[in-house]
Structure 1
Amino acid sequence: MIDLNSDLGEGFGIWRLGDDDALLDVVTSANVACGFHAGDPSTMRRVCRSAAARGVAVGAQVSYRDLAGFGRRFIDVDPAELADEVLYQVGALDACARAAGTRVSYVKPHGALYNATVRHEEQARAVVDGVRAFGNLPVLGLPGSRLLHHAERAGLRPVREAFADRAYTPEGALVPRRSPGAVLSGTDAVLAQVLRLAEHGELVAVDGTVVRAEVESVCVHGDTPGAVEHARRIRAELESRGTPVGRFAAG
């Protein structure tokens, strides 16, 4: 079985980004923005209600405090402060989730924080400390990342994920968004990457290198052009080939 997740609730106020409800009809896990890089209380509560109604797991999509930069700028924040901010974000979303009859089932960093925790020891440990302060929640991250290493050491479940719509380096990291070809264009290319992951446990880097990538969850970014079509095709193709699509997180 493979989980299909998406970054949702990334609007703010009257501004909407992506089609949350359409993606919630397809995905099995929703990474909901917690207000630091996107989202606001009303958006958080609305997405939690929609996810609960569809049986979709709610995850806290935690970030640097960077609303203007959409969380895509690295911030050299004190580790203790970062841990507190992660705890704050998870708690805020959990309040909205519980009001909707569900709860936060896992945590996933967003944007620059996600990329930083691949190799940044202090920030990876700080994110885990923030999650652990809240409770025993699974943590989504890049295979081989320091984030998942520290999550496992802290007794949290590390969940390896890959991205359907992002290009990879030969080292198995994400190609920086500012680089040409960082985001895959076209549903066929996205689908081909996911099928190779699901059927062979590997993906092809930008230079043609084959990278091992055994994962439990695949992410479709909600703000990628064509995201809804990508998600629908991925789920339909996986299920037609005998790979069940279902949430990894209980509750």
Structure 2
Amino acid sequence: MTSHPRDTPQFYLTAPSPCPYLPGQEERKVFTHLVGRRARDLNEILTQGGFRRSQTIAYRPACETCRACISVRVVVADFLASTSQRRILQRNVDLVGTPEPNRPSSEQYTLFRRYLDARHGDGGMIDMTVLDYAMMIEDSHVDTHLVVYRRRGPDTAINGRGTGAPVALCLTDVLSDGLSMVYSFYDPAEASRSLGTYMILDHVRRAEALGLPYLYLGYWVGGSRKMDYKARFKPQERLYGPGWQRVE
């Protein structure tokens, strides 16, 4: 009988299911568990190899007939915001993002539900309960935290924190070579702020302040309107067969 050391990752393949990004396609994923004392190091290696994290699972597409999902990371030191992106930063100058422990709250879940109902009513996450949300936020064996965005208040200049209910949140992993935006959501009533783009721009600044070279954005899918926005943050690197390739 073949045995494996307890810390050796085992990889598994999901059954085919309908692709959420490209009509008529089926997706499969290869995945492994991120648990135990090596979880952080394994998450680093796998993220750099094109995997994404969801709770204690690291996964990447393994589709039989399609290679449209491409891992993307922003080159932080060389990034220059476009004119429209600078306008978005200015539009949200009244917000402040504060790193907080990855602890769920009813306030967060209320915002999360509003976001799903307004933006992803037909998505796979629509049935997530309070417990499901709590697991998504806190079930982690890696270095992760929340960045919570609130409006600036009278004491923000002193304590660096916003006030009132959250306007947006991002669950963010910290890697040795960058930040990885695991999942983000925002108040759908504030759509004019372009908060999804704003959080990416803010995370570029956070990575730069930490001296980290990359911001990992997950998968860009050519031909998918849902994923087009990721191509707007350049220069970036995309992971193809030979390795990471720079795109200006």
TM-score, normalization by structure 2: 0.29
Asked which structure has the greater CA Rg, the reply is 2
The structure in which a higher percent of residues are helix is 1
TM-score, normalization by structure 1: 0.29
The structure in which a higher percent of residues are strand is 2
